Amino acid sequence: MLIGYNWLKDYVKVPFSPQELADRLTMIGLEVSSIEVFQKGLELCKVGRIEVISPHPNADRLSLCQVDVGEKKLSIVCGASNIKSGDKVPVALLGAKPPRGTEIKKASVRGITSEGMLCSEWELGIGDDHSGIMILPEDAQIGMDIAEYLKVSDTIFEIDLTPNRADCLSHLGIAREIAAMTDQIASLPEIRFTEEGGPIEKMIEIQITDPSLCFRYAARIVTGINIAPSPLWLSARLESVGIRSVNNVVDITNLVMMETGQPLHAFDYDLIQGKKILIRPAEMGERFKTLDGIERSLDPTMLMIADANHPIAVAGVMGGMDSEVTEKTINILIESALFNPKSVRKTSLNLGLSTEASQRFERGIDPDGVLASADRATQLILHIAGGKPAKGSIDLYPNPIKKEPVRLRAKRVNGCLGLNISSKQVYNILKGLSFKPLSPAGEDMVFIPPSFRQDIFGEVDLIEEVARFYGYDNIPTTIPSSKIPMGDKISKGQNLEYVMREILVGTGFYEVINFSFTKKCLFDIINLGVKEGHCNLVEIKNPLTEDHDTLRPSVIPCLIQSLVFNLSHQNRDLKLFEFGTCFLTSQCSETGCVEGKSLGIAMSGLMQGKHWRQPDIDMDFYDIKGQIEFILDSIGVKGYLFEMVNNHGLAEGQSLKVMHKGRQFGILGRLSQRTAVYFDIKRPVFVAELDFDYICGISEYGRHRFKAIPKFPPVLRDMAIVVEKDVPFQRIIDLIREEGGKLLEDANLFDLYSGKQIPDGKKSLAFSLTYRSSEKTLTDKMADKVYQRIFKRLKSELNAEMRVK
Amino acid sequence: MALDIEALRAEAQDLIKAAKDMDCLSQIRIRYLGRKGELTSLIKNIGHLPQEERPKFGERLNQLKLALTREIDEKQEAIKKLSAKTGTGLDLTLPGIRPERGRKHPLTQILEETYHIFTGLGFKIAEGPEIETDYYNFGALNFPDDHPARDMHDSFYLGTDNLLRTHTSPVQIRVMKSQPPPVRIIAPGKVYRRDADITHTPMFHQVEGLLVDNDVSFSDLKGVLTSFVHQMFGPDKRLRFRPSFFPFTEPSAEIDISCVMCMGKGCRVCSQSGWLEILGAGMVHPNVLNEVGYDPEQVTGFAFGAGVERIAMLKYGVDDIRLFFENDIRFLRQF
């Protein structure tokens, strides 16, 4: 909403500078987002005085003027003959762009430099006379902006109105707020004119078919007007708030709308057929050409203004071409109405047409201002375009809107705001805002809201008004005395997420955050979704782009995209993770979807950044497996197992699922060739995904139980065996543990080798074994016994041999 | 003369400190302590002094000589130790082996800081679903039926009645419906709006807060948010509460802080106003309290909400919101 600072002064005294006013409006909830000076294109045009005028040395028809423009004196070449020294004239300075004409630049005219231009009325856009320079009266002040001198300049505020303040979509509305803060009453200039014409009832018949769609309809008729371009002040005012000037009558209807907030429409009276106006819904398939020249197809959801034969306007939205006011118009009918806001909104939406008028109707206008606005427009038309007003006005208002009284308890005001102000102060604030008290100031008060406020329904609305004008800044700052509810402030899951992040970051991982939606086809390539029992993807009905049409069931595809983004920017060694919500359809939820949190991991490149001490080690399968083991062990997840898995997104033979009590809660592995090709990745990538919600249920993080530190020393033994290559490690370690029994405290693989010295098809594994008894000091002999037992078992079951050094 | 000594001392010490190798050091030694050195010549000049000043001056010169000798010796040792051939055979100038650490996402860092601040103020962290029904996202929050946010144009719909939540406010409703007052929660999380440009991404993060109890007032809201802003942005930040409008609060406020870039003087970031909008807030609307079965005559409350990206952008000086979701390591590494 654009509001002119000087314009406001027509309705209220403004005892503030523009900046001050902007600050004050902002602090009562009318946020001024910008302040700009409007000069109607007359920037850098000043009042100047010709001090000396002399003939141009090189041209007979030109003269050379020394002009005083206040801060400096300029030398200007001029071709006009109507000037003499001592004249005050409009001067366009260098850089000015007068409304008619081009930008003024320093120029040499026949060898003499000219530092500006003396202007005619035509160049300034204020008249058609370009026969000579405009001579200003003697009292014009040298150096003054021409725009200011002509009273066409203003300071324009852009106000970001909140949707509840429809009453402030006008200068009068803003003026009322200024009045309330300065103890004044804002009002329109006095409206007075003589109704010289015949009675209006004889000239037009108006009928509302459905009073629930049109609450009030007022009209005036003016005959014998003279349509012409608007005077300068009028077109300047409209332009200053972004409205194009059309002609005097149309401009006046727009001016009054910007003044009072009431949209008006002027019809060419002679084009209203049958001298009858009907406010009715459109008929199915009816066609109508709006003022913008577009022919539109109508349907019964749209409310129309029609004459005896066909529609002449879309109610509250836009008028029609066929009844438009043109230069041929002599008699006009001015419409001022109050349409049902919902009906206008629907009409505007269905037509795809939003106008200054429709926006105001949708948000609600002042029912009591309808006729006054028609009168105000009539007055201005008589003044500017002449004519005779018909006697009387039409004002159909079948069911007058009454404001309900609203109760206000002073105690509630103070309680809600944390104040201790008197009921008298509360009373005065509301009275100043035009709320009509039905009771004296006191503990329990009743007010009737003013007709222009559509946003006041209950006590809390009044409290807000008091707060606005008491000033939010004047409300004290306190610490709540209310009870702090018992219980943990952070849930187990939130804490676990924090701990897992710490672990990942501590081991070199970077956290990424991706959008929750991506393109559906990605999940044909790779879908590691680890939620059990659901399978369908959740699709967005109205995605912004195809790339965002599906809610992800797994974080991995997005994580791979993050990885690809980094690879393409030469970021090579990457360890990424993401905690994200994943979505799938479900029959048994309110919304038809289930969501849960997943942890995704993706890594590629060197395990550790290049360094002088160690050779480069590329990440491999064991890094992602180890990472998952490390995380799970660190957060007290016990009893998990890895099992082989087939997932087409992952490389066969390089992927595992993570199981707990027969249920899968994770997956890990190397990206399959196909996936890598799809994402155009040339190097190995390893990914894993864990069902965070499931982990939360089984994690024993923080539940540590102390175990006595062993009293007796351990015995350490290494064992190196050679077995067939295809014997899995798990098999060997299981046997070692089983046979080692209670005395075997730990068995750790420290070497794995095949090659020279080892027969073909075989591999060597070396374990360090720790034996310990909790009851006594183990002797070497006892340890050796266990050692032998283990080896015997390995030999008999796996055909293992002791490795000979 | 006394000044000469001090100047000489300072000059010599600077040179010693800057010396990088043995050659350089031995030149310094010659320049000051050599037979024709500067210190030596001062000592020779001692005869020009009045008799009574000589002993004192002499002693000071002597001290300086000892000090410089010691410092040069020490530096010599240090240089020796650092050069490759030390006793242990290690080149101590090689870079150390640093453990590698990753980073939490900057938005996570802001969120964790927010949790820290609000849990300290007695708030519990509450969570809710990202797919919501129209009722929880709008209806229960006093949005009128024809509110533009309910439009297909502004929100992502999954079915006629289900949508991706447009704010974390539905969590308020869910929490209040599940327990009697008092309530003190913050609700962080992802939210979704159909918007994409330099300052908008279709997904972003919000933190909402809610406090409902007997006798909760607007002044308490000011207190809690002032505490938050001072902890998040520093105690030198000024706050400005100005009236605004949200369907689910009344009175409503928008909260500005003095610009973090220009300290309130006016700059490009704050559009010359000196203020930056950082939070929306207000007293919980009685319609909302009624909706969840609380009695607005018995309890009052306040709610507030802030965009996490916005906080991060202002706190870290990030100028494009899209950077948060590109996940470029070179970006993430900076936090």
| Average pLDDT of the segment spanning B160-186 | 95
Identify the CATH assignment for B106-332 out of 3.40.50.720, 3.30.930.10, 3.20.19.10, 3.40.50.300. Answer: 3.30.930.10
Token pair of B89 as six digits:
């055979």
Cβ–Cβ of B104/A511 closer than 8 Å?
A: yes
Chain A residues within 8 A of B99 when measuring between CB atoms = 508
Residue listed under structure tokens 């309290």: B289
pLDDT tens figures, A551-569? 999 999 999 999 999 999 9
Which residues have CB under 8 Å from A760's CB, separation 6+?
none
Estimate to the nearest angstrom the gap between the alpha carbon of B203 and the chain centroid.
23
Spans of all domains in chain B: 2-85, 106-332
Hey, is A461 helix, strand or coil? Answer: helix
Residue listed under structure tokens 């009236």: B243
Query: Where residue B84 falls among pLDDT bands split at 50, 70, 90?
Result: low
Cβ–Cβ of A511/B102 closer than 8 Å?
A: yes
Name residues 231-290 of chain B within 8 A of A (Cβ): 240-245, 250-254, 271, 283, 285-286
pLDDT tens figures, A661-709? 999 999 999 999 999 999 999 999 999 999 999 999 999 998 988 999 9
Interface mutation target, options A416, A465, A496, A587, chain B, most CBs of B under 10 Å: A416
Across the beta sheet with A538-539, the strand order is A517-518, A550-551, A538-539
CB A113 within 8 A of CB A67: no
Establish if A486 touches chain B: CB-CB under 8 angstroms.
Answer: no
d(CA A154, CA A758): 96
Hey, is A717 helix, strand or coil? Answer: strand
CB B276 within 8 A of CB B269: yes
- Percent above pLDDT 70 for chain A: 99
DSSP A222: E
Return the minimum-mean-pLDDT range out of A232-241, B92-101, B302-311. Answer: B92-101
> What pLDDT score does A529 carry?
65
CB A584 within 8 A of CB A594: yes
Query: For the residues of A79-92, what is the DSSP string, one character each?
Result: --SS--TT-EEEEE
CB B226 within 8 A of CB A477: yes
> What pLDDT score does A99 carry?
84
pLDDT tens figures, B267-323? 888 888 899 999 999 999 999 999 999 999 999 999 999 999 999 999 999 989 999
| Average pLDDT of the segment spanning A54-59 | 88
- pTM, two decimals, is 0.85
CB A618 within 8 A of CB A605: yes
Residue B78, pLDDT > 90, answer no
Establish if A421 touches chain B: CB-CB under 8 angstroms.
Answer: no
State the complex-level ipTM.
0.88
CB A383 within 8 A of CB A439: no
Cβ–Cβ of A418/B119 closer than 8 Å?
A: no
- How would you classify the pairing of strands A388-389 and A214-223? antiparallel
Token pair of B108 as six digits:
């996570």
Q: Give the angle A738-A742-A745 at the CA atoms, nearest 5°.
A: 90
**Mean pLDDT score of chain A, rounded to an integer?**
93
Establish if B217 touches chain A: CB-CB under 8 angstroms.
Answer: yes
Query: For the residues of A553-617, what is the DSSP string, one character each?
Result: S-SHHHHHHHHHHHHTTT--SEEEEEEEEEEEE-TTSTTSEEEEEEEEEEEESBSS---SSS---
Token pair of B224 as six digits:
């809690």
- Using the Cα atoms of residue A102, residue A105, residue A111 and residue A117 in order, give the sign of their dihedral: positive
d(CA A682, CA A688): 19
| Average pLDDT of the segment spanning A240-259 | 95
pLDDT tens figures, A391-438? 999 999 999 999 999 999 999 999 999 999 999 999 999 999 999 999
Estimate to the nearest angstrom the gap between the alpha carbon of A213 and the chain centroid.
33
Establish if B190 touches chain A: CB-CB under 8 angstroms.
Answer: yes
Token pair of A124 as six digits:
């300034």
Residue B85, pLDDT > 70, answer no
> What pLDDT score does A60 carry?
84
> What pLDDT score does A531 carry?
56
Closest CA to A7 of A137, A127, A154, A168: A154
Give the CA diameter of chain A.
Answer: 131
Taking the CA atoms of chain A, what radius of gyration do you get in angstroms? 43
Cβ–Cβ of A591/B158 closer than 8 Å?
A: yes
Cβ–Cβ of A476/B94 closer than 8 Å?
A: no
Q: Within 10 Å of residue A355's Cβ, how many Cβ atoms?
A: 19
Cβ–Cβ of B329/A510 closer than 8 Å?
A: yes
pLDDT tens figures, A176-232? 999 999 999 999 999 999 999 999 999 999 999 999 999 999 999 999 999 999 988
Cβ–Cβ of B324/A575 closer than 8 Å?
A: no
Helical segments of A188-247, H only: 232-240
Residue B152, pLDDT > 80, answer no
Closest CA to A767 of A737, A741, A792: A737
Interface mutation target, options B105, B157, B290, chain A, most CBs of A under 10 Å: B105
* B24-33, B84-93, B248-257: which is most confident: B248-257
Cβ–Cβ of A565/B328 closer than 8 Å?
A: yes
Establish if A662 touches chain B: CB-CB under 8 angstroms.
Answer: no
For A24-125, list the strands marked E by DSSP: 31-38, 45-55, 63-68, 73-78, 88-93, 107-109, 112-114, 116-118
CA atoms within 13 A on the CB side of A785: 8
B132 vs chain A: nearest CA distance in angstroms?
7
Token pair of A287 as six digits:
């066609």
d(CA A341, CA A318): 15
Residue listed under structure tokens 């374990």: A767
Establish if B180 touches chain A: CB-CB under 8 angstroms.
Answer: no
Query: Where residue A797 falls among pLDDT bands split at 50, 70, 90?
Result: very high
